[in-house]
């Protein structure tokens, strides 16, 4: 099986396994789905951490308002009254004014936090170092874990305007956000290998050859952005190790140079008493009392 080390720019994303006979259209479809799926998991995890700390999201017309302004405008969060966490809520005001402050109790909070940690681990970039492939099923498992934890803590469900619910129902609204710049629609996706774009309509073997044990670095990006930057010869870690080695070598050479400057002091010709001892014939004379 061919292993694609998928990157976005210089950042590792995940490993994807396939065969050289796979059409590039299918590869692009799978790789793009996994890439966007990982982004979805990361967005949900970020929102669930906020959910654990500050409760559900307020309606758009109440976000950022003070209690006095809400009272003055006679606004009411009907969904906040329905969506109460299991075991009751603990008030923890959201300083940003985006959530209603009715946070889950410590036990339910731990359920959310633990699930977030497990979901992140499934799709983590560290999976590349562990040589673990990320699949669409793995992404789905992470989403199912997040969905399950949400249902445990909020059995009545989340408000329809809550970003977590919208993400899980594939109704997220990302237009105009930073997150929208990261998402790559399948029809706009392109894969690059060795400085060349791998065009749709061909098979993977047209670019990587027939060896099924090949491992390549493939870079994903939107079409029309030009060729991605080439891979650096050395990674940042390797550069740091080389600099550290050079510094240690330099310090060793300095120490040797200093030692050489004083080394003559222990030489015979530098001994001021040697000539006197030679004239008196007492050099290298050893004695001891009888």
Question: pLDDT per residue over 138-188, tens digit each?
Answer: 999 999 999 999 999 999 999 999 999 999 999 998 888 888 999 999 999
Specify the residue for token string 């799709």.
123
Look at residue 31 in the predicted model and tell me its pLDDT: 96
Q: Is 124 exposed, middle or buried (0-12, 13-18, 19+ CB in 10 A)?
A: middle
Q: What is the mean pLDDT of residues 12-18?
A: 95
The owner of tokens 């140079």 is 257
pLDDT of residue 5: 95
- In the numeric block, which tokens belong to residue 139? 């992404």
Give the helix ranges, DSSP H, for 169-235: 178-182, 205-208
Nearest-angstrom CA–CA distance, 42 and 179: 10
CB proximity list for 219: less than 8 A, separation 6 or greater: 6, 7, 8, 9, 191, 192, 193, 228
Per-residue pLDDT reduced to its tens digit, 87-134: 999 999 999 999 999 999 999 999 999 999 999 999 999 999 999 999
Q: In whole angstroms, give the CA distance from residue 155 to residue 148.
A: 10
23 band by pLDDT with thresholds 50, 70 and 90: very high
**What percent of the chain has pLDDT above 90?**
66
So what's the pLDDT on residue 283?
63
């Amino acid at each position: 099986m061919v292993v694609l080390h998928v990157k976005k720019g210089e950042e590792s994303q995940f490993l994807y396994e396939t065969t050289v006979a796979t059409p590039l259209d299918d590869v692009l479809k799978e790789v793009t789905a996994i890439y966007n799926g990982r982004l979805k998991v990361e967005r949900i995890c970020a929102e669930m951490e906020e959910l654990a700390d500050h409760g559900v999201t307020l309606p758009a017309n109440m976000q950022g308002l003070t209690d006095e302004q809400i009272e003055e405008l006679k606004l009411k969060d009907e969904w906040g009254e329905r969506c109460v966490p299991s075991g009751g809520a603990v008030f923890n005001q959201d300083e940003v004014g985006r959530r209603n402050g009715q946070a889950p109790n410590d036990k339910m909070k731990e359920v959310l936090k633990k699930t977030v940690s497990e979901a992140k681990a499934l799709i983590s970039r560290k999976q590349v170092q562990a040589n673990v492939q990320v699949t669409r099923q793995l992404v789905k498992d992470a989403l199912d874990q997040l969905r399950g934890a949400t249902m445990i803590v909020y059995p009545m469900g989340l408000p329809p305007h809550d970003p977590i619910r919208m993400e899980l129902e594939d109704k997220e609204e990302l237009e105009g956000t930073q997150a929208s710049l990261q998402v790559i629609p399948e029809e706009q996706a392109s894969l690059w290998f060795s400085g060349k774009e791998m065009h749709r309509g061909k098979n993977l073997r047209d670019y990587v050859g027939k060896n099924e044990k090949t491992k390549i670095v493939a870079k994903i990006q939107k079409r029309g952005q030009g060729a991605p930057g080439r891979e650096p010869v050395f990674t940042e870690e390797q550069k740091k190790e080389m600099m550290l080695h050079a510094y240690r070598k330099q310090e060793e050479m300095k120490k040797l140079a200093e030692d050489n400057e004083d080394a003559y002091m222990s030489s015979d010709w530098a001994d001021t008493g040697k000539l006197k001892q030679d004239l008196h014939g007492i050099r290298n004379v050893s004695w001891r009392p009888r």
